[in-house]
């Protein structure tokens, strides 16, 4: 092996071992010259070769530094489409079915990656997507209160991407989401029609996500107009150590927190709104465990569910919930992705899909039917 090749190999091995990371300066030419007992001109030729290969780069004011690794490019014959879902297997079945309905008779082959609410798996899938980029990607992002996208987790520029959910600021791509503010307005009208006065909203985490903020803004706007108190004092968050990871049980955190509120003697609400159906199931179990009748003493409503089947793990109960149309949203997202793969180069768009409320048996009936209900009946 020539001295020049020996120096090149040394630098590459240092990078692979993490001793030299992107942005770090290379040792001075003179130091490398002494280390390998070669002329400085030999070191210079080796460094120039690594620059030509893209391993090193020259930055003004910094000198020669390690370049950021170039992500692989999407080949012209690539026919892979990835669906990356951070949520559970039940949701994954709905999503994968909708995507395959769109791609079934095309040349594109769908690969489904379900992280099963494991953040480590989700991160691995995102890195794999970048390392071996597919032609198309349907990506479900998690709320920033649980997960943050760093540059090494974003798809390569050549991958056509559609986001299932609110836009990711770091990623320029189409996005298909629910209509959180519109759904909040609908829920506000629904609540006001049933004369609820004391309302409690429960969600997990340490802060309200963007989508939740819009839903709550819609609810508050309607309730304030109806003279019903609803503000920050009506919102409670609980630390969630169960929804993601090896002890995954999205109901348990809500169950424990609701029991804590009951034991602390919190003024009993007329209505509890759960941020999503898993939280609602946990709340329902806690209320029944404490001997509180649902909906006679406390009504329960879920602000989000992805399934029209509202059967609860508790026999005899079906959660009243706002269905965010997971299947429909996924089909629309998949259709958009297919159009991108077929050459659609319009600027990225954000579309919002309005869901619908599905009545279960966890919310009390209104004392007086709204006029529209009387007309329909």
Evaluate whether 112 touches 85 at the Cβ level (below 8 Å).
Answer: yes
pLDDT per residue as tens digits for the range 189-227: 999 999 899 999 999 988 888 889 999 999 999 999 999
Query: Rounded mean pLDDT of 324-341?
Result: 96
Report the mean per-residue pLDDT for the chain: 91
In this model, does residue 308 exceed pLDDT 80?
no
User: Is the per-residue pLDDT at 302 higher than 50?
Assistant: yes
Q: Inform me whether the pLDDT recorded for 369 exceeds 60.
A: no
H-helix segments, the chain: 3-16, 29-36, 40-52, 89-103, 119-131, 180-192, 210-225, 252-263, 277-289, 326-341, 371-376
Under 8 Å between Cβ of 280 and 288 = no
Locate tokens 């349907």: which residue? 138
State how far Cα 329 lies from the chain centre: 14
pLDDT score recorded for residue 368:
62
Rounded to an integer, the average pLDDT of 119-146 is: 94
- The whole-number pLDDT of residue 375 equals 40
352 close to 199: Cβ distance less than 8 angstroms: no
Tell me, what's the pLDDT at 374?
Answer: 44
Q: List C-alpha distances in Å: 70 to 228, 340, 344.
A: 56, 24, 26
| Contact (CB, 8 A) for 174 and 344 | no
- State the helix-helix crossing angle for 40-52 and 3-16, rounded to 10 degrees: 50
Give pLDDT tens digits for 345-366: 999 999 999 999 999 999 998 8
Of the candidates 332, 323, 329, 333, which has an alpha carbon nearest to the alpha carbon of residue 355?
323
Lowest-confidence region among 128-137, 178-187, 308-317: 308-317
Model confidence band, residue 306 (pLDDT cutoffs 50, 70, 90): confident
Burial of 87 (0-12, 13-18, 19+ CB in 10 A): buried
Residue corresponding to tokens 């819609």? 218
Question: Is it the case that residue 117 has pLDDT exceeding 70?
Answer: yes
Contacts 24+ apart (CB under 8 A), 55-64: 55/11, 55/12, 55/15, 56/11, 56/26, 62/25, 63/25, 63/26, 64/25, 64/26
Q: Above 60 in pLDDT, residue 9? A: yes
Q: What is the mean pLDDT of residues 4-33?
A: 89
Token readout for 5 is 């090749």
Q: Mind listing the pLDDT tens digit for each residue in 153-176?
A: 999 999 999 999 989 999 999 999
pLDDT score of 376: 42
Give kind and range of the element (H or E) at residue 162. Answer: strand 160-164
Specify the pLDDT at position 207: 85
Whether the per-residue pLDDT at 234 is higher than 90: the answer is yes
Q: Which of 194, 215, 182 is nearest to 363 (CA)?
A: 194
Task: Report which secondary-structure segment, H or E, holds 57.
Answer: strand 56-59
Report the distance separating Cα 331 and Cα 104, nearest Å. Answer: 12
Put the strands of the sheet holding 136-139 in their side by side order.
109-114, 80-85, 136-139, 160-164, 174-178, 350-353
Number of C-beta neighbours around residue 332 at 10 A: 18
d(CA 151, CA 157): 12
How far is Cα 88 from Cα 214, in angstroms, rounded to an integer?
25
Position 284 pLDDT exceeds 80: yes
DSSP 327-365: HHHHHHHHHHHHHHHTT--PPP-EEEE--EEE--SSSPP
Does 247 or 16 have the greater pLDDT score? 16
State whether residue 155 is helix, strand or coil.
coil
What does the angle CA 37 – CA 9 – CA 154 come to, to the nearest 5 degrees? 140
């Amino acid at each position: 092996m020539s001295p020049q090749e020996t120096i090149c190999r040394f630098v590459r091995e240092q990078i692979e071992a993490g001793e030299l990371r992107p942005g770090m300066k290379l040792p001075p030419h003179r130091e490398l010259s002494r280390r390998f007992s070669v002329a400085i001109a030999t070191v210079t030729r080796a460094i120039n070769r690594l620059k030509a290969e893209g391993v090193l780069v020259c930055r003004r004011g910094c000198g020669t530094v390690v370049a950021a690794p170039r992500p692989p490019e999407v080949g012209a014959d690539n026919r892979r489409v990835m669906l990356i879902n951070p949520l559970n297997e039940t949701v994954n079945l709905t999503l994968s079915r909708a995507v395959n309905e769109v791609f079934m008779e095309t040349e594109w082959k769908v690969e489904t990656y379900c992280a099963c609410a494991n953040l480590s798996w989700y991160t691995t899938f995102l890195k794999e997507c970048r390392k071996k980029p597919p032609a198309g990607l349907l990506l479900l992002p998690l709320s920033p209160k649980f997960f943050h996208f760093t540059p090494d987790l974003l798809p390569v520029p050549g991958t056509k991407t559609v986001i299932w959910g609110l836009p990711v600021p770091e990623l320029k791509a189409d996005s298909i989401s629910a209509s959180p503010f519109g759904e909040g307005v609908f829920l506000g009208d629904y609540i006001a029609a049933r004369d609820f006065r004391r309302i409690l909203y429960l969600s997990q985490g340490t802060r309200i996500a963007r989508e939740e903020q819009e839903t709550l803004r819609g609810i508050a706007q309607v309730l304030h107009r109806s003279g019903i108190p609803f503000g920050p004092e009506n919102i409670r968050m609980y630390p969630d150590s169960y929804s993601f990871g090896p002890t995954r049980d999205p109901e348990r955190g809500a169950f424990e927190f609701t029991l804590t509120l009951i034991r602390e003697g919190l003024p009993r609400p007329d209505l509890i709104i759960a941020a999503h159906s898993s939280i609602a199931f946990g709340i329902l179990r806690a209320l029944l465990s404490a001997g509180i009748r649902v909906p006679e003493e406390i009504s329960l409503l879920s602000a989000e569910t992805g399934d029209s089947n509202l059967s609860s793990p508790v026999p005899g109960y079906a959660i009243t919930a706002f269905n965010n149309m997971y299947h429909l949203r996924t089909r629309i997202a998949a259709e958009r992705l297919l159009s991108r793969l077929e050459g659609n180069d319009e600027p990225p768009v954000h579309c919002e899909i309005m869901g619908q409320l599905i009545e279960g048996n966890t919310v009390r009936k209104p004392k007086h039917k709204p006029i529209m209900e009387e007309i329909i009946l």
